[in-house]
Homo-oligomer: A and B are copies of this chain.
Amino acid sequence: MPVNEDLRRERARATFDVKQLTHMLDGGSDRTARRRQLQAIIERDPTGIFSNDDNAYLHRTDRHVRGLAKHVRMVELCRTLGIGDKYDGQVVMDPDFPVLLAALADDLPTALHWIMFVPNIVSLCDEEQQRAWLPLCRDWKMIGCYAQTELGHGSNVRALETTATFVSEDQDGTKGGSFVINSPTITSAKFWPGTLGRTANHAMVIARLIDGHGKDQGMHNFLVPLRSMKDHKLLPGVKSGDIGPKIGYNVMDNGFAQFDNVKIPRRNMAMRFAHVDERGRYSKKSVSAAASKISYITMMQVRAHICNEAGKNLAVACTIVTRYSALRRQGYASDGESELQILDYKQQQHRVFPLIAASYCFFFTGKRVMEQLKDIEDKLVSNKSISKAAVTDIHASSSALKSFTTTVAADGIEDCRKACGGHGFLQCSGLPELITTYLQSPTVEGDNQMLPQQVVKVLLKLVQTVQDDGDLSDYVSCDSYGLISSLQSNLKGVKEDCRIVSEIDVMNLDALLAALCHRSARLLVGVASQIQGSISSGKSYQEAWNDALVEMARVSRAYSQFLLLRNFMEGIDGEERSGAIGVAEVTVLQNLARLFALYWMEKELGDFLEDGYVTADHSRWVRSAVLQLLDCIRTDAVSLVDARDFSDFKLKSALGRYDGDVYPAILKAALRDPLNHSDPGPGYEQHLKRLIAGGTGTYKATVSRL
């Protein structure tokens, strides 16, 4: 296909090999090839069911139904292709499955079944339960969701109100005991679970277990049938439905459910770690350390995945805005005749290029956290010891990273949308649905505003250990280890010198990392002493903690930036050592790493100036280095987004097309709107005509008077 001349020229001048970065991002050239093969299956599917062309024009109901159709087609394709998790006693994940799903470039209403429901069975149910349920899940006879949050209760699990009460033998003669599920109040209605509304026939319900002695045994999981597997009708006592339209993610039927004396068999309680016998006696089960940590590791994996997804979603937005800005022209060049490429404006570069840098940065961190988790898992399985510090530390870093990367991605995608000017407001730009659907990420899996407390809670223990000259050996392999010497200096009041001594040093990645490390340590020590100070001045611990929340957010952000830069630098080194990329690729990635660090330093310069770590000279250097890096990256900008290798099918954007043929695509999209399917448009005959042509219309108006 003929490609827009501007884009062709941009691509011709790349300083690096685009293919190499693509392979690096995919994890090898073989994975790239397989991904493309799977994409082709979706994009060229002869049923046409996977087309996204009409998405923006469908009523929500039709969009959801279309999602169900896609699901069924997907399952059939997987069966034909032999793709899918294998189960024989143990679940083996099929790496092709997520690739195929990603190729859809659309959401499926069934997503929570395999994201949450099946993993929950795997981690919390005993072997007999798994043998009974997993084959039904694999065959999509049982479609499940994970029902934790309630209308009045979000992340505070302790406050959940749904109850599961043991009853030993019932009027109907059920033997072996049962649980009765109840929603005692309006606020206890299960609310938000994805797939619950209209799709799932089962829910893994988190409820307060009341045992046979009437004793509250806290929260446990119960498999509750919602709908008949014969006709998909709601079962007696279950009131459930969709929670209504949202700002985005509307293919998904997030749902609500209220339970009125719904009786389930005793063995529907997830019994891997706890047990209730036929007489209603509750007991905990002793399990291996590995088993008990598995659900925790799963949660951490979800966070690493979120970090990686933040990078990917941001990269989609960057691809659209970068290509469009390369061909869109506005304002005159010095010759007074030709219009300038938007991509040549410094404020556009300053807006977009740091986001390209962030999208690569998040890739390396996602990969690294996954490797760390794999390492912990391997150790657990082989019964090697893991320090408590290592486990809490990865909790802190994953909390910080989840919060920071999803904030940057959500703000960044929206900024890319704005950076497309008016046309970014159009659904056909692909950006509106991208951002509105992504907007869930800052809120789910730990609200970004709440996570900093978890980060600081863990890091304060490190501060305490350093302060007490305690044993630090546990921290050697931890993410926060790099902070220790900075913490020591800060606690002892020893001034740390900035390693940027002359203007040239400002491009030195090690010096930048040291600056980010210093800032994290300083702010962390600051929070510790703020809390101490508040308590000394007579405030309760809770008040002191509350007063420090604003600062905790700063600490968490600073700590994330430190981790992200370090992982970026080490990631580049690793890829270079493994031979995955060459000198040219290393150079361009290092410039992105520099821009990542310097952009955030520039933005939050006060944090570095406040204690004199950097000076007015440094500030000038930082700003000037940012401008220099923008110039460097300008050359490769289009190729850097091309390297993500997103197909046009995936981008769904008239503005981000590979061939740059933007304007006909916009007009073509406009004509699809049902508003344009008649002339005059709908509403004229019934309404407008009444005024314009003096017709009478069809509705009777009664007039109020003042």
Contacts and interface: CB of A to CB of B under 8 A. Distances in A.
B704 A41 contact: yes
Contacts of A664: 186
Interface in A469-488: none
A425 B246 CA distance: 6
Given A426-B243, A547-B627, A187 B663 contact: yes
Contacts of A703: 76-77, 80
B609 A683 contact: no
Interface string A682-693: 111011111111
A641 B69 CA distance: 46
A683 B167 CA distance: 37
Interface string A328-368: 00111110000100001111101100000000000000000
Contacts of A339: 156, 159
A639 B567 CA distance: 48
B616 A253 contact: no
Contact of A41 (B231, B611, B666, B706): B706
A357 to B, nearest CB: 16
A230 interface: yes
Contact of A47 (B64, B75, B192, B702): B702
Nearest to A142: B692
A94 to B, nearest CB: 14
A439 interface: yes
Contacts of A702: 46-47
B154 A667 contact: no
Interface in A234-271: 234, 241-248, 253, 256
Nearest to A66: B683
A693 B604 contact: no
Interface in A108-166: 139-141, 143, 149, 151-156, 158-159
A392 interface: no
Interface stretch (A315-323, A496-504, A672-680): A672-680
A208 interface: no
Contacts of A619: 606, 610
B428 A443 contact: no
Given A151-B667, A610-B616, A684-B232, A198 B675 contact: yes
B231 A69 contact: no
A563 interface: no
A348 to B, nearest CB: 7
Interface stretch (A415-423, A572-580, A644-652): A415-423
Given A46-B702, A693-B230, A425 B440 contact: yes
A680 B227 contact: yes
B159 A699 contact: no
A65 interface: yes
Contacts of A582: none
A675 B241 contact: yes
A244 B427 contact: yes
A280 B688 CA distance: 37
Interface residues of A, number: 159
A61 interface: yes
Nearest to A187: B663
Nearest to A425: B246
B69 A686 contact: yes
A15 to B, nearest CB: 22
A243 B705 CA distance: 39
Given A606-B606, A667-B256, A699 B60 contact: no
Contact of A683 (B64, B626, B675): B64
A489 interface: no
Interface in A580-624: 604-612, 616, 619, 623
B156 A330 contact: yes
Given A447-B421, A546-B346, A627-B547, A159 B330 contact: yes
A550 B350 contact: yes
Contacts of A672: 244
Contacts of A234: 679
A449 to B, nearest CB: 6
A412 interface: no
The 10 closest A-B pairs by CB, nearest first: A605-B606, A198-B681, A247-B432, A65-B683, A606-B606, A232-B680, A68-B683, A609-B609, A241-B676, A68-B687
Given A57-B244, A69-B687, A197-B676, 18 more contacts: A47-B701, A59-B674, A60-B675, A68-B686, A69-B699, A76-B703, A151-B663, A154-B421, A186-B667, A197-B675, A229-B692, A242-B670, A244-B672, A247-B427, A247-B435, A256-B670, A414-B414, A422-B443
22 contacts: A44-B704, A56-B245, A60-B673, A65-B683, A69-B683, A76-B703, A155-B330, A156-B331, A197-B681, A229-B693, A231-B693, A245-B673, A246-B432, A247-B417, A248-B425, A350-B549, A418-B439, A421-B443, A421-B447, A425-B439, A605-B610, A606-B606
